[in-house]
Amino acid sequence: MRLLSRRQWLVGAAGVLAAAISSQYLRQFFTYLQPAALPTAAPLLPVSAPFMAVSKKLTGIDKLQPDLAFALYRSLYHPQLDAQLEALLSRLDEQHGSAGPPWLEVLAQQSPPLRQLYHQLINGWYLGVVGQGDNLRCIAFENLVSYRLLHHVLLPPSYAPGPPNFWVKKPGAEVSAHG
């Protein structure tokens, strides 16, 4: 019978302890991987015509990003969505393009679901965010309407207007975009 040295015994005990701990975590990890009852997702329906009509009126853009439109429509989808969109479209048509305080007064007189839909559409197209409270989700970042409306005066998000450290040069010094 061979006796183990203290070092060998400690290494072996640490290995057994690590295996026991990792097996507990692995067991928990694999329970998350098991198929569970998945939440019912919104159906993969094409974006409705009322959704696109309302979106064009709210954004002032005729050719909206199809991917963003699909993501926004899908995240807002519920069985009454198209009926609410039709009601919102008729209110927008009644206002003949008026914006600002007159439109906000009309909107304040509408039902809460209609007001909420208006705000969700604005947040989705301009901010790329849908949901409320703890259920906020980002559905877009780089192809937002707010960037498209200002593309002629602002750089795309996260792009620098010059080479590294371009800001240390005095204003008016020639700075090219490529260094």
Q: What is the full DSSP assignment across 22-55?
A: HHHHHHHHHHHHS---PPPPPP-PPPPHHHHHHH
Q: Which residue has the higher pLDDT, 176 or 165?
A: 165
Cα 122–chain centre separation: 13
DSSP 3-state assignment of 153? coil
Task: Work out whether the CA dihedral 139, 144, 146, 147 comes out positive or negative.
Answer: positive
Residue range 102-153, pLDDT digits in tens? 777 888 888 899 999 999 999 999 989 998 888 889 888 877 888 777 777 7
Residue range 52-84, pLDDT digits in tens? 999 998 888 889 988 899 999 999 998 999 999
Tokens standing for 119?
């705000």
Q: What is d(CA 148, CA 128) in angstroms, rounded to the nearest whole number?
A: 13
pLDDT at residue 52, as a whole number: 94
The one-letter amino acid at 153? V
Tokens standing for 30?
């694999």
Q: What is d(CA 64, CA 88) in angstroms, rounded to the nearest whole number?
A: 19
47: nearest Cα among 147, 145, 125: 125
pLDDT at residue 120, as a whole number: 92
Residue range 76-110, pLDDT digits in tens? 998 999 999 999 999 888 876 566 677 778 888 88
